[in-house]
Each structure stands twice: as C-alpha cells, then as structure tokens.
Structure 1
Amino acid sequence: MTEPIARCLGIEEGAPCTDLATITLPVPLCTHHQMQVAMAIVPEMLASAASLAKRAPLPVAVDTQTLRVVTKAQTAQLDLAGVHGARVYFIRNGDRIKIGYTTNLRNRLDALCLRPDAVLLLLEGGKLLEGSLHRHFAQHRVPNTEWFRYVEEIKTYISMKLNGIPIPASRSGHIDETKAQEAVRIAGFHAGPKGEVLVSREGLLQAIRAHAGNGQGVHLADILTTLHQAGLPGYWTVTALREACVAHGIPVERQLKIGRRNRPGIRIDALAPTVG
C-alpha cells in the first residue's frame, strides 16, 4: 500500500508552509528521549528566530543597478526534464506568488505540490536576479519569505515580459522626460502638468475600434499593448488605462469574457452611445 504524503499545515507571516513532512507516522518518545530532542532542536530554533528578528527589511527604494537587472531580464522556456541552467520563477498559489530561482523546476514544483500551470513566468538568471526582484517588489513581500502579494504591479511586470514589451528604467512617479516628449509627438498623446504622458479620448477610441473589429469587446491589456508599441511609456499599466478610460467617459467592465479569457475590458455595445 502506498504511504500517504504528509504536509505541514502551518501558516507563517500569511504564507503556507511549502515543505513536505519528513515523518509520516507518530513516533512515541519516552521522557528521556523527549529531552534529547528538545536539547538538539530548541537552541537552533531560538537562534533562527533571533536571526529573523534582527533581519532588516529590504528597502522599497530601488537603486539603479537593481532596476537595470530587473528590466533587462530575459524570458526562458519551461523546462521540466530535470536539471537545467539557473532560472528565476514566478509561481502563483492563490493570491500569493513565489519569486525564487532553481536549477530543477520539476523538483521545485513537486516540493510546492503545485502543477506546471502555476508557473506564470520564467527568466534567465539566478541568485543575482532573484535578489534584485525581491528588492524591486519589496513593498509587496510577505516578511521573511519568498512569497509576495499578487498585486497589479507584479501582474503588469509578468505581462510585459511575456509580451516582449520593454520595461522602462523608471517607476511610475519618476517619469523619463525624454520618453514623455517623444510620446507627445505621436498622435493621440499629450503632456500632462508634470511632463507625464496622457492619452486623448480619440486616441483611446481609435485603439478600441482597431482591436474590437466586429467583435463584442476588447480587453484593456490588448489595447495597452498597442499603445505601448505606439510609444506610450511602459509605466502605463492596466490600472492607469482603466482610470484614463473612466476619466474620458468610456465605460469599463471589471471582468469581460472574450474567448477563454475573463479580464477588465470594454464592451462595444456599451461604448456605442459614448462614441456617438
């Protein structure tokens, strides 16, 4: 009979334990042996707890070198054959995502008890890239773990990498003025009060019409891809695009099903009165 696999059900800092239990059956111990186990384990556990307590949180501010490593990272192919070169993975489990590196993705997935479709992104790189990503997304990190909240910023990073969209070497709020001025010269874009790039209502409607064709609607992510290719800076995210549409009186649905995908989008029949 196959012995069942035991798992730890503990939760630390909001993230589930991902290690398989090494003991699957009860082990009764006498008082003498209980003391031996305690003497062997408790000092080490206390030392580990003290180390975590003293560990300084990663800074939210991102230095130039870190940002360069994160933006230049190249995507890698899914490889479940065994040992391979160093890869940094983004593995999702519910509303959490694990960012780590491995040289054997199959073993890592087995250890996490997750399926291959949980891998949302793979990048070429090892510990340097992993550390850079941890610092880059530090504000979303579950403390003292490799798990992060699956927030819009991480979703956008994954989407841009998968779609080959260049990621700007600046965050929202630190606008690249040169790129902004270039985008201003492209039809439909104009400069805001701080030099940021804004999209005109007509520019948005043109992009919506181009994607919708004879269909019933279009996802914001698809529109955003076209606008990025037209020169819209990469710091524009789906959230920013949604806010721009609402500001221009263009109705947006939080979940619009097109094909097999259910994402924020614009329904054409709801748009018709607005287009006028």
Structure 2
Amino acid sequence: MKRFFLHLVVLLLAACSESKKDAQAASGQPAVSTTDLPVVVLGGPTCAEFVKGLTLAGVSKAQDLSRESLAGKAAALHAASVAVILVDATEGPLPVTREDVLLTRQFCRGTVVIGFSKSALVEDAELLDLEEMEVRDLLNKYDHPGDTAAVGFDSESARTKQPKGFAALAVLLSKMRPADPPRAARPAQQAAGAELYVLADLEAFKRGLIQPVSSGGCQLIFGDKVVPCTLQTPQAVQPGSAGKVTLAFPEPVSFRVGDRFVIGVEDHLTAAGRIGDVTR
C-alpha cells in the first residue's frame, strides 16, 4: 500500500511539472533552468542586483566581481566557466568595461557573455542595439569572438529580440560548456621575450595611474597566483605601446608559453602581457 501511494505521489509531481512547463510554453515564458557552472559578473554598481537575479533564477554559482581586487578578479576569472561583461544600459560601455574585457582576455578560459542591466529604463530599441554593437566591437578588439557572443538583458520588458529576463538568462547560461582544464605547467625562473603592452592613459579605468614600465621589481598577477618579479627591458615601454621584456623570478614559478599576466597600480590594470620563451 505504501509503495502504491509513493508511486501515486511521484506521478502527481511529474504531472504538475509537465503542466507548469506547458503553461510556461503557452505564455511564451522560458522554462526554469538551473546550472552549477561557475559564472562571474564584471561591471559597475548594478552587478550585485544582476547576480541576485541570476541566483534566484537557478544560476547557483553566480559571483559578483565588482568589488574584488585585481588579483581576486584574475583568480575568479581563471576558475570560471562563464564571464558576463555587464553594461548599464542607461549609460552604455564605460572605461571600466574596457578593463573588464581586457581582464577576461587575459584570464578567462571559458565563455564570455554580454549582459545588460537596467534595460527596462531604455525606451529606444535602437539605442539598445547600438550599445550591443559597441560591446561586440570592444570584444573583437581584445581577441574575443564579439560577433557571435551570446547577449542577454535583465528585464523581460526590454525592447529587444535577444533573451531577456533572468529566467531566459538562466536558460542561456545552462547551455554553456564548462571551461577547459588548464594545460600542464612546469616550474621555471625566467621567461625571455615576454610581450608587454602598457595601457594608454585614456584606456585606463582610473586615469593618472599609467606610467612607462622600465626595468625593476614588480608584482605579476597570473590567473591563479600573484608572484614577485624582476622585469628587465632595454628601454622603457611607453603608455600605449608594446615591447619585449624578460621576467626573472626569485623562486621557480609554474607557467607555460602563452600564459597571460597583468600589472596593476592601486588595484587598477596598467599593463598586460603574455609569456614568450621560457628558460628552465
């Protein structure tokens, strides 16, 4: 008898679930979807509310990086499967958006998604389209597939044909694939021929921090670690320019050719680089 009632309860629950799905389909609402992929959100003050909406919609591992340190952002991006570049639709892309995109280029091993907050407050559909194009162009500039990047809006009343509302965003994120595991690395104490680009002052989120980078001690932020380093260069790398440098570490550090790093001042990005030849 108990087994009969147990089967009956299971059947009733299944019927209720199917009924709910049918009702959602009839109303045009996306079915509720969940994902436990690590998702990080970069942007301004609207990140916290955006992450709250994702969490309530079933994205259990959504994380707000807006108040994290530069090293904290690098570590979270390195571990994430999805990075959402969040733009306030009432303001459009800002200098901080450029910094966020560059950080994802340096450290994210997963998928980059474009997100918009406060989208219900923008009445002009063409303005939303224009902002979307701007962010796609910015992604393209930093070696992301901007033209094909997924995009979603926080409000179901947003004037767009793209996925909108947190339920739709949860469905979108649930279709993303996990990040590939990091490649094997071996310890080394020197990397010759590393590429280094120093941001121009106008590119920086906080202006006035950018200075030429010359030989001397510094801290390099890799995705999963922060290490002291002596940087050697024949001549200073000027803001807005790129150059070749040699990196020497006081102790062996595990990295690979092609690994990326950044240098920061006062927790703001000032230079970005990539490992060239490795001297074991």
Bigger Cα Rg? 1
Bigger relative contact order, structure 1 or 2 (CA pairs below 8 A, ≥6 apart) = 2
More helix by share: 1
More strand by share: 2
User: Does the alignment reach a TM-score above 0.5?
Assistant: no
TM-score range for the pair, normalised by the shorter chain length: under 0.3
Question: When the two structures are superposed, what TM-score results if normalisation uses the length of structure 2?
Answer: 0.27
